[in-house]
Amino acid sequence: MNATVFFTLQEVDGAVLQDHTAVVIDVLRASSTIVAALAAGAQAIYPVVSTEEAIKLATSLGREDALLAGERRGLKVEGFDLGNSPREFTPEMVGGKRVVMTTTNGTRALLAVDGAEHVLVASFLNLSAVAAACADAERLAVVCAGREGRFSIDDTLCAGMLLSRLKERLGGTLEVEDAGRSALALAEAFGVDDALLADSAAGRSLAEVGMLDDVAWCGRVDVEELVPKLKERIIQRADGGGS
Amino acid sequence: MNATVFFTLQEVDGAVLQDHTAVVIDVLRASSTIVAALAAGAQAIYPVVSTEEAIKLATSLGREDALLAGERRGLKVEGFDLGNSPREFTPEMVGGKRVVMTTTNGTRALLAVDGAEHVLVASFLNLSAVAAACADAERLAVVCAGREGRFSIDDTLCAGMLLSRLKERLGGTLEVEDAGRSALALAEAFGVDDALLADSAAGRSLAEVGMLDDVAWCGRVDVEELVPKLKERIIQRADGGGS
């Protein structure tokens, strides 16, 4: 397997991903929230870029079983049913529902790579499940959402741990380049460290809006088995479970 | 000191650097070549973006004492006096001369940050000299040129080693964020390793055009004391020596 890591969405040239399996990571918090939503029984997630687009799509899906979720500056968009805190996505709240979602970095990253052959969503929560799901890919693109175009250590550590899982499976046949090699080394140096995640730019920004508890919640490793998969702009469980 | 690291030129918002000291790094090879040129007695370096601009400027400076230097795809631009291999910049070749230079990543990075309060050029060759020159800055921006918008491990290790030198000087008063913390950890994990530099994307690309010897040359640490400084689009020694 040839694995390329992109530390920011802006590094990605969507056109070259056609024959790649892309894994999108936005640990704090969109990819963790997508995993939480599907684990809680949401039928599907519809990622969109703007709040206007979200409202329009939720209306056309039918407001009685489509929820609006998303954040701007870390806070729930006014009038939306949910923000972007994975802890809100309970079975009571989202079970059986469609969720239209817009976030600052994560949903943009998903839509930027939707030309890839397969698009999966990874977080610490479902790390080994994603590693198993993409282990047979010949060309893997691990896309960190980053923070408004900047490098993000939380996404990078998750990318590095994903590569580390793949290396355990594939050994010397895993080929990485500059960014992948660096992500692996950083995952080895830091591991998953709640204090470090809390002190990351994303963690500090969540603390500012009273959401620090989300950081430790998103830092739990391998608590879910499911793999969210994006196809035709809709995210569902790759195994079809819960949908 | 608050130190921010940018892993690619594209992450930089030039406008926010006004009150920063910016350090530009393009290990393979523009920043190493600039150090080599000034060490060999070049009077000044004029970084420009395009080959057309280079020819125009060299002509207006007077072709008898202005040299044209630069590369595209790693190779010397046709009709230019020099490429971008630091080994070419000998006292015989550049002593007392003005050098107009255009490269794929490095000279662009320099021009992108020229709104900063001070702009210095760092490479492994002059690492400790740059650390000494910027140790009193309150706000430091370390800008890795990267490779065509992508993360580059050679520049990152140099950035990490620069921060490591500053940390030795400043101790706990050095504040870093996600990218700076990562660069420090990567420098600690890898150090300066010729094999790793040769296996980087930039190293492999140089090997393809027969320039692999440049990699070990640029990987030598602290062999020069000088600090190139960009002011009004002209790079000269910060200490005025050799100019």
Question: Residue B217 in contact with residue B99, Cβ under 8 Å?
Answer: no
Question: Residue B24 in contact with residue B110, Cβ under 8 Å?
Answer: yes
Which of A154, A178, A189 has its CB closest to that of B189? A189
Residue A60 has pLDDT above 50, yes or no: yes
- Cβ–Cβ of A189/B188 closer than 8 Å? yes
* pLDDT category of residue A64 using cuts at 50, 70 and 90: confident
* Cα gap B161→A156, rounded to integer Å: 20
Nearest in space to B73 (alpha carbons), one of B31, B111, B103? B103
Q: How far is B153 from chain A (nearest CA, A)?
A: 5
Residue B109 has pLDDT above 50, yes or no: yes
ipTM over 0.90: yes
Nearest in space to A48 (alpha carbons), one of A87, A88, A9, A104? A104
Q: How far is B130 from chain A (nearest CA, A)?
A: 24
Write the pLDDT tens digit of every residue in A201-210. 999 999 999 9
Write the pLDDT tens digit of every residue in B12-37. 987 789 999 999 999 999 999 999 99
Interface residues from chain B to A (CB-CB < 8 Å): 5-8, 10-11, 149-154, 156, 177-179, 181-182, 185-186, 188-190, 200-201
Question: Residue A121 in contact with residue A24, Cβ under 8 Å?
Answer: yes
* pLDDT category of residue A103 using cuts at 50, 70 and 90: very high
User: What does pLDDT average to over chain B?
Assistant: 95
* Cα gap B230→B143, rounded to integer Å: 14
Check residue B242 and give its pLDDT.
46
Question: Once rounded to an integer, what is the mean pLDDT over residues B130-138?
Answer: 97
Phi, psi of A92 (to 5 degrees): -60, -40
Check residue A14 and give its pLDDT.
77
Question: Once rounded to an integer, what is the mean pLDDT over residues A60-84?
Answer: 93
- Domains annotated for chain B, with CATH where assigned, are 2-234 (3.90.1560.10)
Question: Once rounded to an integer, what is the mean pLDDT over residues B84-91?
Answer: 97
- Cβ–Cβ of A186/B182 closer than 8 Å? yes
Tally C-beta pairs within 8 A across A and B.
69
Residue B241 has pLDDT above 60, yes or no: no
Check residue B12 and give its pLDDT.
92
Check residue B196 and give its pLDDT.
96
B74: CB partners within 8 A, 6+ apart: B84, B205, B206, B208, B209, B211
Write the pLDDT tens digit of every residue in A6-29. 999 999 987 789 999 999 999 999
Question: Once rounded to an integer, what is the mean pLDDT over residues B197-218?
Answer: 96
User: What does pLDDT average to over chain A?
Assistant: 95
Percent above pLDDT 90 for chain B: 91
Check residue A242 and give its pLDDT.
46
Choose, out of A28, A155, A164, A182, the residue to mutate when testing the contact with B (most B CBs < 10 Å): A182
Percent above pLDDT 70 for chain A: 98
Which amino acid is residue A96, in one-letter code? G
Check residue B120 and give its pLDDT.
98
Q: How far is A152 from chain B (nearest CA, A)?
A: 6
Residue A132 has pLDDT above 90, yes or no: yes
- The residue of chain B with its CA nearest to that of A178 is B153
Phi, psi of A84 (to 5 degrees): -125, 25
Write the pLDDT tens digit of every residue in A145-186. 999 899 999 999 999 999 999 999 998 899 999 999 999 999
Neighbours of B237 (CB within 10 A): 19
Question: Residue A204 in contact with residue A196, Cβ under 8 Å?
Answer: no
Chain B positions in Cβ-Cβ contact with residue A150 (cut-off 8 Å): 6, 11, 178-179
Check residue A159 and give its pLDDT.
98
Check residue B189 and give its pLDDT.
97
- Cβ–Cβ of A182/B153 closer than 8 Å? yes
Question: Once rounded to an integer, what is the mean pLDDT over residues A55-71?
Answer: 93
Question: Once rounded to an integer, what is the mean pLDDT over residues B64-78?
Answer: 93
Residue B240 has pLDDT above 70, yes or no: no
Q: With b meaning 16 or more CB within 10 Å and e meaning fewer, what string describes B147-160?
A: beebbbbbbbbbbb
Q: Which residue's structure tokens are 């320099």? A: B110
Residue B243 has pLDDT above 70, yes or no: no
End-to-end CA gap in chain B: 31
